[in-house]
């Protein structure tokens, strides 16, 4: 099977946040939108086919989760991640971000501590602060562009009465895939201090060659408190359909999460979300394998171009995700100046690093989940504007 990831698709005027939200977010629509973490590629044909088949039935009433959708999860994670999931462990959720908020409510009381590891996807912070929990930041350590967990500091945070650790693996935005040894150290600390771990694995399928992603839940022992968020949304470019699942082996923790969702009456979903979810996990392997080859080619091109042509920007190749974490500190601009420079001079719209918390100032996050020609053109503009700064 062949897949054309170079096919131009016009996303403007489709109510796309990424495209139609540029004016509001950047103050201009005249930027290449390399920000919001969705891709510009057509979803797998198996997904559109399944949706067409479902749409052919003219009634869209309240819908049960069919047994087949549970099986699609079990089979995908056994096939792709060698993780055996039991049917009863699965709890559906309206999305990963709502699951972050629900976990904070379920496992930490007001004023109790929740650990996050900055720089990290910004809803990790708001899930804690808007729920009046104590934010305990365990900043990652950056060594020559490679990020590591500060385990000594993580243990200090745990000692401060933390109840929950929210782990991002693979990590957004820095692109690290925590290896098995690192995950075992996280588990050791969690066991010593009776921490619940919310492991956000939404990018688990977007891992580049030569790197092995280990599902934290696969390392669990009886008594461990691990909640894993999974979804085909990032993998197959269907985030707008808004359905995810939680893998929760412990019955009491499943009950706690279910109670939070029921208190907000968010247990129902729509039949189209379920249809796309199941079709992606059941038939999407070949498309995903081709996607990762394409993304890896784009990643390698972008990293090499920056290293060879823009020494003012430092970059390490991410091990996973379609997000580049650009260290722009050598440009000697503050965050506002940096944002304005890329928007108005380079005409490239990216996420400013400071929104990802401590350690993000001076960085930009670039989404390469688009045609390689778009990335090439954007990088050429950035190079041209930085060349002018040197004069």
pLDDT in tens, 53-106: 999 999 999 999 999 999 999 999 999 999 999 999 999 999 999 999 999 999
Q: What is the CATH number of domain 59-283?
A: 3.40.640.10
Domains of the chain, by residue range, sit at 17-44+285-386, 59-283
Q: Quickly state the pLDDT bin for 268 (edges 50, 70, 90).
A: confident
Is 17-44+285-386's fold the same as 59-283's? Answer: no
For residue 206, what pLDDT is reported? 98
- Over the chain, what HEC string results? CCCCCCCCCCCCCCCCHHHHCHHHHHCCCCCEECCCCCCCCCCCHHHHHHHHHHHCCCCCCCCCCCHHHHHHHHHHHHHHHCCCCCHHHEEEECCHHHHHHHHHHHHCCCCCEEEECCCCCCHHHHHHHCCCCEEEECCCEEECCEEECCHHHHHHHHHCCEEEEEEECCCCCCCCCCCHHHHHHHHHHHHHHCCEEEEECCCCCCECCCCCCCCHHHHCCCCCCEEEEECCHHHHCCHHHCCEEEECCCHHHHHHHHHHHHHCCCCCCCHHHHHHHHHHHHHCHHHHHHHHHHHHHHHHHHHHHHHHHCCCCECCCCCECCEEEEECHHHCCCHHHHHHHHHHHCCEECEEHHHHCCCCCCEEEEECCCCHHHHHHHHHHHHHHHHHHHC
Percent of the chain scoring above 70 in pLDDT: 100
Q: Is pLDDT of 107 > 80?
A: yes
For residue 378, what pLDDT is reported? 98
Report, at the CATH architecture level, how domain 17-44+285-386 is classified: Alpha-Beta Complex (3.90)
């Amino acid at each position: 099977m062949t897949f054309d990831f170079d096919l131009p698709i016009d996303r403007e005027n489709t109510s796309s946040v990424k495209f139609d939200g540029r004016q509001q977010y950047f103050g201009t629509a005249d930027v290449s939108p390399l920000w919001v973490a969705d891709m510009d590629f057509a979803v797998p044909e198996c997904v559109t086919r399944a949706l067409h088949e479902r749409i052919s039935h003219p009634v869209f009433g309240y819908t049960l989760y069919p047994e087949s959708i549970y099986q699609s999860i079990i089979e995908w994670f056994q096939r792709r991640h060698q993780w055996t999931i039991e049917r009863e462990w699965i709890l559906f959720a309206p999305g990963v971000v709502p699951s972050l908020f629900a976990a904070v409510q379920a496992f930490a009381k007001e004023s109790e501590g929740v650990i996050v590891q900055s720089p990290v996807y910004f809803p990790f912070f708001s899930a804690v602060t808007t729920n009046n929990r104590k934010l305990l930041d365990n900043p990652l350590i950056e060594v020559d562009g490679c990020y590591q967990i500060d385990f000594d500091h993580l243990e200090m945070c745990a000692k401060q009465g933390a109840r929950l650790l929210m782990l991002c693996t693979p990590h957004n935005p820095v692109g690290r895939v925590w290896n098995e040894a690192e995950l075992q150290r996280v588990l050791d600390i969690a066991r010593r201090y009776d921490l619940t771990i919310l492991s956000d694995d939404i990018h688990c399928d977007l891992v580049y060659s030569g790197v092995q992603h280990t599902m934290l839940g696969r390392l669990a022992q009886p008594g461990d408190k691990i909640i894993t968020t999974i979804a085909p949304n990032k993998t197959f470019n269907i985030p707008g359909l808004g359905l995810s699942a939680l893998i929760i082996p412990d019955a009491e923790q499943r009950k706690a999460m279910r109670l939070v969702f029921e208190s907000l009456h968010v247990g129902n979903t729509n039949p189209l979300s379920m249809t796309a979810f199941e079709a992606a996990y059941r038939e999407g392997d070949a498309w995903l394998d081709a996607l990762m080859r394409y993304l890896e080619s784009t990643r390698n091109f972008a990293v090499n171009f920056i290293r060879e042509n823009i020494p003012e920007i430092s970059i390490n190749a991410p091990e996973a995700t379609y997000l580049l974490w650009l260290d722009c500190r050598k440009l000697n601009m503050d965050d506002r100046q940096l944002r304005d420079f890329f928007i108005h001079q380079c005409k490239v719209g990216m996420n400013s690093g400071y929104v990802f918390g401590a350690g993000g100032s001076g960085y930009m996050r670039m989404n390469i989940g688009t045609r390689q020609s778009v990335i090439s053109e954007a990088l050429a503009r950035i190079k041209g504007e930085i060349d002018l700064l040197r004069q």
